Structure 1
Amino acid sequence: MKITARYTVIVMLTIAVANLYSFRSIPTMIKPYLIQIVGGDTKNVTKNECPEPSEKVQTKPLSNITEPISHQHAMKLAYDFARATAHFVSGMSCDISGGRYIVFFSVLGSAILTASYPSLLINSPPWGMIIFNIVSGSLSGYVMPAIMTLISSWAPLNRRTVFVGVVYAGGPLSKVLEYALIEFFTVISRNWENVFYISAILGFLYILIHMYTVFSKPGMHPLISREERKFLEKELGTKIPKRIPWFQIIKDKHVIAILFGKCAHLWMQNINQTYLPQYLKLVVRLDLATRGAFYMLLPHLLHFFCIIVAAVLVQISINAHKVELTHLRIFCTMFSAVSPAILMIMMSYAGCNIYMIQVLSAMAICSMCTMNLGIKSNILDLTTHFAGFCEAFINGIATFGVMATPKLLGVIITEHCIVQWRRFYWITLAFTSFLATMHYIFVGTDRAKWDHLKKDNVTMYHDDSESESL
């Protein structure tokens, strides 16, 4: 199979997602190596149920910077609020204007911010870092709907799920790169500023290639073959909407179903990325950062491969017409919403068995591999023309909902012990199961009525769609 324009676009979007996730995550991931956190709630004590690991390594921060824990909470709130708000701004424009330039300027702006972070961290007052997080969150939120718009413009029916899986596999792939960079520049060479500079350089390199390889529509791509353009335009259509039927979209029960699933996924993702490391460090007394980059990046590397394999298997099932599309979307959503919580409960019953806990925590991360195959692919089932707005509405509302996680955690966990964390994981399972059940009740995969435009020539939703020949 020759390399065609649509495959090039999808690979570039995967790199864009990896860059954007790196820009967002590196400041948070590197802080334990740089900053001493002071303050906090004295009620949240650690009971020391698990023994200190015999191979424990004492680490000393690479700088003398201190930061109140209240300041950390304010920065995270500022980032999340700006990101959710920017989703809606982008969603009202990207389906009409196209996503090419939105991705370009978002990656460019994020790369500039990343390059400036070391100087800001050392010299900026606290309010300066809050402004940094507001701008960073806005850029991150503004670009995600545009990426969905681009996928909807380049993904034919019998490649749709694979393309979604490949693009968003850039998330765990970025984690692998981040841990490798942090390990080398903070532990080995101790030049932590280079982590940000290299990440920014990779962003600048990306945007140079982006302008020659990524275009909003197949008809706008100067290097696409005539056969490929005709094929994509026959399946995806050529019409560009002039307005967003936002009211019809937000009241559609199938869109609401995806919103329920997305809330479950974001809740679970937030726990996996933010609170699971806290449990390992404070309760199990397993600080993976002191055990080397391999222990940190391995679960994310496995997660990357699990996404690719799952996407291929789901796409094969769809193309073979062996399983109904609706059932596949339900399974992917239910599996990634419920199984991580079950694995975390099992981890809490493993007590202080470090090896079992490491295996179960890695499985909890990998079990989210079907998340986007159920949620984001379902958006493309409903719409070709308004995927960006749907992504903005669903992800924006879900992001606001996830902001309640720290409050719930503070109410349930008054001291860091296995029993209280287990209770939190059981509540998480009940909550995500409820949301996944609501998704199951209202989910649909038929093209929505509001997606039909006048003189619309989209054909990709027919059951007898011809097989891809390119």
Structure 2
Amino acid sequence: MPFNPLKCVYGSFVLHQRYVLIIMMQLALLNAYHLRVVLNIAITEMVDRNVSSKVDACPEYVYEKLEKVEGGTFPWDNEAEAGVLYAFFGSYFLSHIPGGWMADKFGGRHVMGVCMIVSSIVTLLMPLGIRYGGSWGAIILRLILGFAQGPLLPTISTFIQCWIPKHQRGFLGGIAFGGSNMGAVTGSVFTGMMISAAKSWVVPFYVWGFLSLIFCAFYYLFVFSHPFTHPFITDEEKEYLAQEIKKPERFKVPWWQLCKSLPVWALLAGQFAHNLIFFTLLTDLPKYLKEILKMNVETNAFTTALPFFALWVGNIVFAYVTDFITNRDWLELATARKLYTTFSCVVPSSILIITVYVGCNRLLAQILVTVSFFLVGPFFSGMKVNVNDITIHYGGTIMAIVNGIASFAGLIAPYMVGILTTDESIEGWRICMWLLFGSSTALAIVYIIFAKADRQEWDYVNE
């Protein structure tokens, strides 16, 4: 019998491998988001540009920039800064479909493993790339990072369809996908703390890069593509999963049927609505806090992280409630998916409108943004696991299509913010939030009309 590092026994308790898998999926996204958001915080100290606005929205505050930051500063203009920040999304969508297809066909273990290793190495090289290549060096490395991280979410959908019984997908799937939220929290907070303590924007890139490589070593020890290939799984759990989960067959992806499927288009609408909100705040909240409320790097990082912590908590709370309700037949699965997805898009975006009308009240703005993101929590047990309701074969491929196309929101929303806030006035931010509310509401309506929660006919192609 092989050595089992997870034979975690306390009395009669044994840690099941599907729970280990979910923990590792959350840690994978946690580390991936460390590598993704570190630049969003560090760039506030890297760019040597006058932060005083043409229209001083909050003159009672003064921005306090760190002096003599190790790593140097760079005279990048708005266009160069935007190019560095948004280059990630320029390549992010390209690897979704190839990555999701490979995960479905060959298994998710090596797809995710290679993606995490490449992401870690790119992050470690980022300070050198910026020092010797300037903004173009940063853009090239961010393009590579985006391409490397594209397959991660589709691969998690593949793992869920191979490992998680249907009655546990709302809760466990929500926890797995929630790693991105906690990664945004810890990545923002500790990046700001490291920059402030070390007086260096370089340090966080090395810290997160090395920690991610350490995670990769544990990942390859504990994560396997299927229950029947896992060397440490108990016979009882293997038999249970074999009964609960139909083993995927090997056949070609019905691309044309997927393109014609209205439930797939509904998933795309729901994902796009969510991404407009999520990526606007992930990328541009530090910009709002710096330019409008004049928060320094440490305060900015904490305030940026707090909403994502609330989102992580909301994700777990609503995920548990979803499975609790649907497993008791109190609410039909399709109704629950639609209710959660719509609520998580419309209500938070309406609260963000209120946020930009409270003026320069820092505390109230922090509270409103935090509450808004807590209420985004139902999304992950709504649309995100809805992918695995309609298929048992193509979870990774469909998630790749949906998340890949919807990732364009990561370019559209921040670009909209950049165009409308060139004078750094709060009026421009108000227009942005109204557009965000209108777009997310319209897309949520599309999801309500066309979303399904039962296996679709194109999934029975060989039966």
Q: Does TM, normalized by the shorter one, top 0.5?
A: yes
How far residue 211 of structure 1 moved from its aligned partner, in angstroms, is 1.6
How far residue 125 of structure 1 moved from its aligned partner, in angstroms, is 4.6
Which residue is equivalent to 2:264? 255
- Whole-angstrom distance in 2 between the partners of 1:199 and 1:342: 34
How far residue 148 of structure 1 moved from its aligned partner, in angstroms, is 1.4
SS of match in other structure, 2:150: helix
Q: Deviations over 1:361-394 (max 9, x none)?
A: 1112222112222111110111121000101110
Distance change (3 Å), C-alpha of 1:113 and 1:454: same
How far residue 453 of structure 1 moved from its aligned partner, in angstroms, is 5.2
8 Å CA contact 2:277, 2:349 repeated in 1 = yes
- Whole-angstrom distance in 2 between the partners of 1:410 and 1:83: 20
Which residue is equivalent to 2:318? 310
1:142 lines up with 2:154 in the alignment: no
- The CA RMSD measured in Å over matched residues stands at 2.3
1:14 lines up with 2:26 in the alignment: yes
Which segments of structure 1 move beyond 6 Å, counting only runs of 4 or more? none
Matches within 5 A, 1:110-129: 110-129=119-138
User: Structure 2 regions of 5+ residues with no counterpart?
Assistant: 1-12
- Report how many residues are paired: 449
- Counterpart AA for 1:165: G
Which residue is equivalent to 1:133? 142
159-168 or 185-194, larger mean C-alpha shift: 185-194
- Whole-angstrom distance in 1 between the partners of 2:189 and 2:286: 18
292-301 or 318-327, larger mean C-alpha shift: 292-301
Distance change (3 Å), C-alpha of 1:251 and 1:49: same
8 Å CA contact 2:89, 2:410 repeated in 1 = no
Q: Deviations over 1:35-70 (max 9, x none)?
A: 32489xxxx95422423237x644336143312332
Identity of aligned residues (%): 27
Distance change (3 Å), C-alpha of 1:424 and 1:250: same
SS of match in other structure, 2:327: helix
1:60 lines up with 2:72 in the alignment: no
SS of match in other structure, 1:263: helix
- Counterpart AA for 1:18: L
Distance change (3 Å), C-alpha of 1:277 and 1:25: closer
Which residue is equivalent to 1:463? none
- Whole-angstrom distance in 1 between the partners of 2:403 and 2:49: 31
80-89 or 28-37, larger mean C-alpha shift: 28-37
8 Å CA contact 1:341, 1:429 repeated in 2 = yes
Which residue is equivalent to 2:338? 330
Q: Deviations over 1:375-432 (max 9, x none)?
A: 1111011112100010111011112355333444455446433334223222221111
> What TM-score, normalized to structure 2?
0.90
- Counterpart AA for 1:228: E
Which residue is equivalent to 1:108? 117
SS of match in other structure, 1:92: helix
> What TM-score, normalized to structure 1?
0.89
User: Structure 1 regions of 5+ residues with no counterpart?
Assistant: 456-470
Distance change (3 Å), C-alpha of 1:303 and 1:59: same
1:423 lines up with 2:431 in the alignment: yes
Which residue is equivalent to 1:219? 228
8 Å CA contact 1:318, 1:324 repeated in 2 = yes
Which residue is equivalent to 1:458? none
326-335 or 237-246, larger mean C-alpha shift: 237-246
- Counterpart AA for 2:23: V
247-256 or 170-179, larger mean C-alpha shift: 170-179
- Counterpart AA for 2:385: S
- Counterpart AA for 2:430: R
How far residue 24 of structure 1 moved from its aligned partner, in angstroms, is 1.3
Which residue is equivalent to 2:14? 2
Select the residue among 195, 205, 218 that pairs with 1:186.
Answer: 195
Q: Deviations over 1:419-459 (max 9, x none)?
A: 3422322222111111100111111111111222536xxxx
8 Å CA contact 2:355, 2:369 repeated in 1 = yes
Which residue is equivalent to 1:201? 210
1:238 lines up with 2:247 in the alignment: yes
Which residue is equivalent to 2:445? 437
